[in-house]
Amino acid sequence: MPAPKSYAGKVFSSLTSSSWVGVDLFFVLSGLLITGILYDTRQATNFFRSFYARRFLRIFPLYYGFLFLLGALTIPLDIQWRSREWIYLLYLQNTHVMKNVHSAAFSPFITIDHLWSLAVEEQFYCVWPAIVFFVKDRIRLMKMAGLLMAGSMLVRLLMLYGHKSLWMIYVFTPARADSLMMGSVLALLFRSDAALQQQLKRLAIFVLPASVIVLVILALPTGGLSFSSKSVIIFGYTIIGLASAALITLSLTSHTFGAAIDRPSLRWLGKCSYGIYVLHLPVMQLLLHLHTVTHLEDRYSNVCWRLFIVVSTAAFAVGLAFLSFEFYESRFLRLKRFFRYQFPEPIVQRPDESVTAIIDPVLVQRIQS
C-alpha cells in the first residue's frame, strides 16, 4: 500500500502501525483476570482440574477449529504448511522452533502470525497456576511477580546483546512476561483493603498520562511506535504495560471511567472479543486480495481507503465472531458447569477484596457454586 502523503494519512498510518500495543493491554488484562481466578480458588480441592478444564473449553475449540478449517482450505488458499501445522497445534509459534519455517511465506491470501500471543497465554497457564497454588500467600506472590517482571526486562537485554531476532524478542514468553505479571500484581493489590485501592487510583491518575507522554516521545523518531525499535524493546514494552495497568485501574476505581466502559455494547463485544482477535487478521488479508477491493486500492490509496479497510475488516470480523460464539463456542462453554470449583468449607469474601467482584458482583458466587 502506498505511503500516505496527506497529514491525516500520516497520522492514521502512525496510529495503525502502533495498534500492536493492544496486545500488551490484553496481556495485562489476562494477568489480572487469570490471577484473580487462581487466587480466589487456590483453596479448591479440584483447583487444577477445574482451572485447566475451563480454560480448555474457552480457548481450544475456536483455536483448533480455526486451524482445522485452514487445513481443509489448504489448496484454495495455497497454504504452505512446511511442518507449521505441528508448531501451531503445540503452541510453539513463539519459540525458536518457528525460526526454521518463519521466513517462508504461509499463504498469499492470509496470515496467522498474530496467533503467537495465544502461545504466550498457554505457556503462562503452564507455569503460573502452579506457583499461585503452592505459594498461596498474597505478599509472596507479588514479590515473585516483581522478580519475574525484572527478569523479563533482563531477558530482552540479553537477547538484544546476543543479536537475536527482534521478532523473536517480541513474541518470546519470558521476554514479554512483565505485562502478564503487572496484571497479576494488580489483581493481588485489589485483594487488599479499600484504602490501598484508593491509593492505586491516585497513582494511576499520574501513571497513565506520564506513560502516554513517554510512548509518544518514543514514537516520534519513526512516526509510530515500532515493536522492533530497540528503545521500545528495552523499556517501551514495560511502559505500555504500566499504561495498560493504569487504564484498567481507573476503569475499576473511577466512576467516570467505569461508567464509560460499563455499556451493554462493550459487554457484548467483550463476549466476542476472543473470536474477533483470532479472525480479524485473516479477514483483513482476504479483503485485501479481493479483486474489487484491489481496484479500489489503486484508485483511492489514501486515508479514506485505509479507514475503509479497518472499518470493513472490523465489521466482518465482529459478525463472524458473533456467529462463532453463538453457534459454536457457546456449546463448549456450557460444559463448564461440570467443572465448578469445590471448596472444603464455605469461603466468605467481601466484595471490595476482589476485583472480579467489582467487574461482576455475582462472579464470586459463581466460583463457589
Q: What is the pLDDT of residue 356?
A: 44
Question: Does residue 70 lie in a domain region?
Answer: yes
Q: Is the pLDDT of residue 169 over 50?
A: yes
Question: Does residue 78 lie in a domain region?
Answer: yes
The mean pLDDT value for 245-258 works out to 83
What are the cell numbers at 112?
496467522
Identify residue 257 by its one-letter amino acid code. Answer: F
**pTM given for the model:** 0.86
Domain tally for the chain? Answer: 1
User: What are the pLDDT digits (tens) for 15-69?
Assistant: 666 778 889 999 999 999 999 999 999 999 999 999 999 999 999 999 999 999 9
Q: What is the pLDDT of residue 89?
A: 94
Range of the domain at 61: 7-368
8 Å CB contact between 61 and 332? yes
Among 52-61, 90-99, 225-234, name the most confident range. Answer: 52-61
Question: Does residue 144 lie in a domain region?
Answer: yes
- What angle, 0 to 180 degrees and rounded to 10, lies between the N-to-C axes of helices 194-219 and 237-253? 140
Q: Is the pLDDT of residue 11 over 80?
A: no
Identify residue 307 by its one-letter amino acid code. Answer: L
The mean pLDDT value for 350-363 works out to 41
> 338: which residues sit within 8 A by CB, 6+ positions away?
53
User: What are the pLDDT digits (tens) for 193-205?
Assistant: 888 888 998 999 9
Question: Does residue 204 lie in a domain region?
Answer: yes
Mean pLDDT of all residues belonging to the chain = 84
Q: What is the pLDDT of residue 96?
A: 79
Output 362 or 163, whichever has higher pLDDT. 163
Q: Is the pLDDT of residue 160 over 80?
A: yes
As a whole number of angstroms, the longest Cα–Cα distance in the chain is 68
Question: Does residue 257 lie in a domain region?
Answer: yes
Question: Does residue 39 lie in a domain region?
Answer: yes
Q: Is the pLDDT of residue 354 over 50?
A: no
Question: Does residue 1 lie in a domain region?
Answer: no
Q: What is the pLDDT of residue 313?
A: 81
pLDDT above 70: percentage of residues in the chain: 81
Question: Does residue 230 lie in a domain region?
Answer: yes
